[in-house]
Amino acid sequence: MDFKDYYQIMDVKKDASQDEIKRAYKKLARKYHPDVSKESNAEVRFKELGEAYQVLKDPEKRAAYDQLGKNWQAGQDFNPPPDWDAGFEFSGGDFAGDSAGYTDYSDFFESLFGHGFGSVHQGRQQGGYRARGEDHHAKVVIDLEDAYQGATRSIVLQAPELDSSGHVINKQRTLNVKIPKGVKQGQRIRLSGQGSPGMGGGPAGDLYLIIEFRPDSMFRVDGHDVYLDLPVTPWEAALGASVKVPTPVGPVDLKIAAGTPGGRKLRLKGRGIPASTPGDLYVITQITLPPADSDAAKALYQKMAQELAYNPRSKLGV
């Protein structure tokens, strides 16, 4: 079964207003009415026009048709998705018997508005349906500190809506969103009823916020765990020391054991992002050398070379 392009049948653009659709129907109905038209395909065209007008004249039915049609490719066989009728419900009314004067609907029409919305009997189909609004997704960029403490962010959303004339317009709104403590990268937060409004009194869709962390100059994040490269001096690593370590919520004291090599991973338990099981903060030691930028510094390095006689390449056989 082929997908029917009702806009093409009525020779109107997809953003045509309701008045433009009505005028197009009247013009083409006069042209193809079987009682007056001399066109060879007048009866077929007149039926197609009536079917297309039944859908496009009603903003709600038109929106439902657009929702399915935007995902359809030209020439693709038409079979409504299994969940196409989810959230739709006819509430009664006369779907036929108007100025279109047409009741013999195509298989495509019945697949679209019959199987999921009610049955067709003697050319009469129940009309008026309710549909749940579409869900929307938005990305929210936060600082790592926000994941530790929670925060409130303002986000601006634009959602398409049909105006009273049937044109699609973008409506802007601002939401103040509470970011809970303990969120992690990529987490979705659901805001019930903050998506697109429903049709025919149906419930609104939901808004899903996707959490993304702003890049941090010091910390790396993996799930609820946080990583920090910590510079230490050669004497701190060799002799041991107690040093201040930054965390996203303030500095803490960390004990470095004597003989700690570069690249050692030290764990600060529970200092990661809060959660039911809090993450950890891992400190990776990075031994840094003081610059030999003075005579005194050079003399000290020379003394160390003579007295320590240390060969870091001894295990390499050289």
Express each pLDDT in 172-206 by its tens digit.
888 888 999 999 999 999 999 888 777 667 788 88
d(CA 236, CA 242): 8
CA nearest neighbour of 60 among 201, 159, 183: 201
Domain end call among 130, 158, 192: 130
Lowest-pLDDT range, 51-55, 122-126, 172-176, 252-256?
122-126
The CATH number of the domain where 180 resides is what? Answer: 2.60.260.20
The reply to whether 223 falls in a domain is: yes
* 13 or 118, higher pLDDT: 13
99 vs 240, more confident: 240
Q: What is the mean pLDDT of residues 141-157?
A: 91
Across 231-244, average pLDDT = 96
181 shares a domain with 231:
no
pLDDT at 197: 75
* Statement to judge: residues 118 and 179 lie in one domain: no
**Domain shared by 39 and 154, yes or no:** no
Q: Looking at the structure, do residues 236 and 143 belong to the same domain, yes or no?
A: no
Q: Which of 62, 96, 130 is the last residue of a domain?
A: 130
Segments forming the whole domain that contains residue 208 = 136-213
Q: How much is the average pLDDT of 268-291?
A: 95
The pLDDT value recorded for residue 161 is: 64
Residue 318 lies in a domain: no
* Confidence band for 41, pLDDT divided at 50, 70 and 90: confident
Same domain, 60 and 163: no
Regarding whether 165 and 61 lie in a shared domain, the answer is no
**In this structure, is residue 313 part of a structural domain?**
no
The mean of the pLDDT values for the chain is 81
Mean pLDDT within 19-27:
90
Q: Would you place residue 264 in the very low, low, confident or very high pLDDT band (cuts 50, 70, 90)? A: very high
In total, the chain counts a number of residues equal to: 318
314 part of a folded domain? no
pTM: 0.58
Residue 316 lies in a domain: no
**Structure confidence at residue 154 (pLDDT):** 87
pLDDT range class, residue 120, cuts 50, 70, 90: very low
DSSP secondary structure string, the chain? -BPP-HHHHHT--TT--HHHHHHHHHHHHHHH-TTT---TTHHHHHHHHHHHHHHHTSHHHHHHHHHHHTT--TTPBP---TTTTTT-EE-----SSSTT------HHHHHHHTTTT--EETTEE---EEBPPPPEEEEEEE-HHHHHH-EEEEEEEEEEEE-TTS-EEEEEEEEEEEE-TT--TT-EEEETT-SSPPBTTPPP--EEEEEEEPP-SSEEEETTEEEEEEEE-HHHHHH-EEEEE--TT--EEEEEPTTPPTT-EEEETT-SS-SSS---EEEEEEE-PPP--SHHHHHHHHHHHHHH---TTGGGT-
Structural domain count, the chain: 3
Q: Is residue 315 part of a domain?
A: no
Q: For position 60, what pLDDT does the model report?
A: 65
Domain-embedded: residue 74: yes
Question: Which pLDDT band, with edges at 50, 70 and 90, does 98 fall under?
Answer: very low
**Are residues 68 and 111 both part of a single domain?**
yes
Burial of 61 (0-12, 13-18, 19+ CB in 10 A): buried
Are residues 86 and 177 both part of a single domain? no
User: Does 226 lie in the same domain as 296?
Assistant: yes
Please give the pLDDT value at position 88: 42
Residue where a domain stops, chosen among 72, 102, 130: 130
Q: Same domain, yes or no, for 51 and 158?
A: no
Q: Do 149 and 207 belong to one domain? A: yes
What's the rounded Cα separation, in Å, for the pair 144 and 216? 8
